[in-house]
Amino acid sequence: MNTQLLQDFETKASVVNQQIDTFRKTPVHLSNIRKSGQKFFYGQTPVAETALKDLLNIFSIKEKLVEEIKDDKDQWEPLQRCLSDIKRERAAITAVRNGVDGDGSIVRFFDVALEEERPLELNKGLDLLHSYISDKEDSIKLQGLYFNPTTLQIESQIRHTENPIDTFGDGQDLWDSGFGFNYGEGKTQILPYFLRLICTNGMVATHKVNQRYFQSRELKQNSFNKLINKVLEEDLNGTVRANCSRLKNSNTSLREFYNARNLLMGRSRELANSYFGDAEIKEAYKDEKLRYKNSRWMASANSNINAYEFFNRLTHCTSHSSIDDTTRLQLNHCASEIFFKGPDFSYRAPDPFANKQ
Q: What angle do CA 328, 334, 337 make, to 5 degrees?
A: 140
Euclidean distance between CA atoms 319 and 327, whole angstroms: 11
The rounded distance, in Å, linking the Cα atoms of 307 and 252 is 5
Give the span between the Cα atoms of 265 and 276, in whole angstroms. Answer: 10
pLDDT in tens, 117-164: 899 999 999 999 999 888 877 788 888 899 998 889 999 988 888 778
> Hey, CA dihedral for 198, 227, 145, 212, is it positive or negative?
positive
Residue 61: pLDDT above 50?
yes
**257-to-209, 287, 290, 309, 338 alpha-carbon distances in Å:** 24, 19, 13, 11, 10
C-alpha to C-alpha distance for 242 and 320, rounded to whole angstroms: 26
Q: Assign domain 123-239 to a CATH class.
A: alpha beta
Cα-to-chain-centroid distance, residue 215: 20
Asked whether residue 184 carries a pLDDT value surpassing 60, the answer given is yes
> pTM (2 decimals)?
0.68
Q: Which residue has the higher pLDDT, 296 or 274?
A: 274
pLDDT higher than 80, residue 65: no
Which pLDDT band holds residue 91 (cuts at 50, 70, 90)? Answer: low
Provide the residue ranges of all domains of the chain, joining segments of one domain with +. 24-118, 123-239, 251-356
- What is residue 270's predicted lDDT score, i.e. its pLDDT? 92
Radius of gyration of the chain, Cα coordinates, nearest whole angstrom: 26
Residue 257's pLDDT band, with cuts at 50, 70 and 90, is: very high
Among residues 309, 314, 305, the alpha carbon closest in space to that of 353 is found at 305
